[in-house]
Amino acid sequence: MPETTKNERSFVIQRLYTKDVSFESPHSPQIFLEDTQPEIQVNLNNTANPLDENHHEAVLTLQVEGRHQEKTLFLIEVHQAGIFLVSGFQKEEMPPLFNIGIPNILFPYARETVSDLAMRGGLPQLILQPINFEAMYAQKMASAWQSTTPES
C-alpha cells in the first residue's frame, strides 16, 4: 500500500470483525411453548480508540432484548468492530466520521449477526430496521450544546 503524505486524506477499512457476541434465553424451553409477541428494545453504543497515530479501532455495541411482561425472553449483544486507517482529516471532521460514517459501515454486520443468533436460538427471524446515525449524532450534539448553554 503506498505511503500517504501528511496532507493527503485517507480512509481505509483495514479489518472488520466480531469482537464479542452473547446470546441468552433465560426462560427456555418454556418460552417456546407460549404464544407471545415480545417487546423488542434495541440499545446501541459506539466507541473509538486510537491504536496509533493513524489507526483506530471502532466498536459498535448492539444490545437487543425481547421482553414479555416481566420476563426477559432473550438478550443478544454484539460488539462489531473494525480497524480503520484515518489520516489527513481536520480535527473537526473526526467526530462525524466516527459517529456517522463508521457506524454506518459496522451496523449491517452487527444486524446480520443479531438475526443469525436469534434464529440459532430458536426465535423467529429478527430483522432490525436501519438506523439513522446522522440524526442520532445531530441529536447528541444538540443535547450537548443545550447542556453547556446557560439558561436565560
Rg over alpha carbons for the chain, rounded to the nearest Å, is 19
User: Does the pLDDT value for residue 15 go beyond 70?
Assistant: yes
User: For 133-141, what is the mean pLDDT?
Assistant: 93
- With beta carbons less than 8 A apart as the criterion, state whether 14 and 81 touch: no
**pLDDT for 151 beyond 70:** no
All structural domains of the chain with their residue ranges: 10-142
Q: Which CATH class is domain 10-142?
A: alpha beta
Rounded Cα–Cα distance for residues 126 and 139 (Å)? 27
| Cα separation, 145 vs 25, whole angstroms | 40
The whole-model pTM stands at 0.86
* Percent of the residues in the chain that have a pLDDT greater than 90, as a whole number: 74
In the three-class reduction of DSSP (H, G, I as helix; E, B as strand; rest coil), residue 140 is classed as helix
Residue 66: strand, helix, or coil: strand
Q: Are 72 and 65 in contact (CB under 8 A)?
A: yes
Confidence of residue 73 (pLDDT cuts 50, 70, 90): very high
On average, the pLDDT of the chain sits at 91
pLDDT tens for each residue of 96-118 = 999 999 999 999 999 999 999 99
User: Which residues are CB-neighbours of 139 under 8 A, at least 6 positions away?
Assistant: none
pLDDT confidence of 152, banded at 50, 70, 90?
very low
Please, are residues 83 and 57 in contact by the beta-carbon 8 Å criterion? Answer: yes
pLDDT tens, residue by residue, 41-64: 999 999 999 999 999 999 999 999
Residue 7, pLDDT > 90, answer no
What are the tens digits of pLDDT across the range 74-91?
999 999 999 999 999 999
